[in-house]
Chains A and B, each alone.
Chain A
């Protein structure tokens, strides 16, 4: 357990850079009005549902790829730290960071909803076809918070497992696993957004149990692959 908490501590120190919060916030503030005017319901819903989280998820995914395929894992193995403690600590740390990111997203979404009423009322009165900010309402509150956090972590664990699988569980030159991992991350984010949207309409399996199951499987697979190469 000590190893898990130490792993979380160092991941927070390295992952919690102020830059990602600043970048995420800027993109959310600037992006939301633009997305609202695109007249695409799916894009608007995805943006409000994921938006700022994409920045955090990509950072988390990059950290997981670098860890599962890089030299730091070798150092941990020589210290006798099991993979589940290292990965568990990272999941804990990124859970905290993603939660903060989600809090930022919800705050900015609520702000946008409030501030844009006047503007959009004017637009509607003049026959312009734009979105009502109330469509963002489902993405506020604790349910949305939990779902966004779970989706984000699922994407990251999926990326870690994919990278470790491609690397055969061994540290390799960073190029190929980074390319594969980045592709997997982009695919994961897009899939998560689509799934989220479809699940709301009752079209596919419920998001939460499926995400939880995928997360557990990816966690176990990553640990297994990384331990396979060590004593």
Chain B
């Protein structure tokens, strides 16, 4: 079975600043993967590159063994760390706008999810509280039929109850085929849902392993191993 995503030698420069210094990793189908690293590690940059929002300075990215052309772009669903919909739109209009952009989007499912998550349809998007905007963004993301789902800090700025709710939605989503890659530094909250982890340090992936492997090999939880690697500066 081919890998869902293959990333080879991806690097990103912003002027003289090298943010990503050659990332290599693969993602398998149907897995929930955590992209972990400290603030400023390059997690958001990596996700933007994978989503097509940013062109990498160099490197190769393959989805199901093929390059991600413009036509295949909608097979990668992306949720940024802030909502990207035009703020002046109301939620209902925002759903329609999203439907016009993405052919694999199910507006009926999105409306149902918004109702389930108590996102008011007549509220202007720019006036939504942060937690509610996150719920809307997640509802839109999960209403798309894509191969790979990228979530950038989906838990930031929301309360613990909200976090648990969002994580349950993510956990219930994969069907053995869809792959989810979540970037976060809230390791403790995300650990229960993770199948695999990627540690991003100094612009490179310094560890790729399953959560089970980390527990078995190091005798530590993912969070403990994360602290050891990033706080202690130790090896992986």
Contact = CB atoms under 8 A, between A and B. Distances in A.
Interface of A: 6, 9-10, 13-14, 71-72, 74-82, 170, 228-231
Given A230-B52, A230-B55, A78 B76 contact: yes
A216 to B, nearest CB: 23
Contacts of A82: 70
A77 B53 contact: yes
User: Does more than half of chain B's interface fall in helix, strand or loop, or is it mixed?
Assistant: loop
Given A10-B97, A74-B84, A231-B68, A79 B102 contact: yes
Interface in B85-108: 85-86, 88-89, 93, 97, 100-102
A30 B56 CA distance: 54
Given A74-B53, A74-B84, A228-B55, A80 B71 contact: yes
B51 interface: yes
B54 interface: yes
B55 A6 contact: no
Nearest to A2: B100
Contact of B54 (A6, A14, A229): A229
Nearest to B56: A231
B52 A71 contact: no
B53 A230 contact: yes
Given A78-B51, A79-B101, A72 B70 contact: no
B226 interface: no
Given A14-B88, A80-B52, A231-B55, 14 more contacts: A6-B101, A9-B100, A13-B93, A72-B84, A76-B101, A78-B52, A78-B76, A78-B78, A79-B101, A80-B72, A228-B55, A229-B55, A231-B70, A231-B73
Contacts of B52: 77-78, 80, 230-231
B89 A14 contact: yes
Nearest to A229: B55
Interface of B: 48, 51-55, 68, 70-74, 76, 78, 80, 82-86, 88-89, 93, 97, 100-102
A52 to B, nearest CB: 23
Given A71-B80, A230-B55, A80 B73 contact: yes
A231 B97 CA distance: 22
Nearest to A7: B100
Nearest to A71: B84
Contacts of B71: 80
B100 to A, nearest CB: 5
Contacts of A81: 101
Contacts of A13: 93
29 contacts: A6-B101, A13-B93, A14-B86, A14-B88, A14-B89, A71-B80, A71-B82, A72-B84, A72-B85, A72-B86, A74-B80, A74-B84, A75-B85, A77-B52, A77-B53, A78-B51, A78-B52, A78-B73, A79-B74, A79-B102, A80-B52, A80-B71, A80-B74, A81-B101, A170-B54, A228-B55, A229-B54, A231-B52, A231-B68
Contact of A78 (B53, B83, B100): B53
Contacts of A74: 48, 53, 80, 84
B112 to A, nearest CB: 22
Nearest to B14: A170
B100 A6 contact: yes
A170 B45 CA distance: 13
Contacts of B54: 170, 229-230
A95 to B, nearest CB: 20
Q: Which 3 pairs across A and B sit closest by C-beta, in order of nearness?
A: A80-B73, A75-B84, A79-B101
Contacts of B89: 14
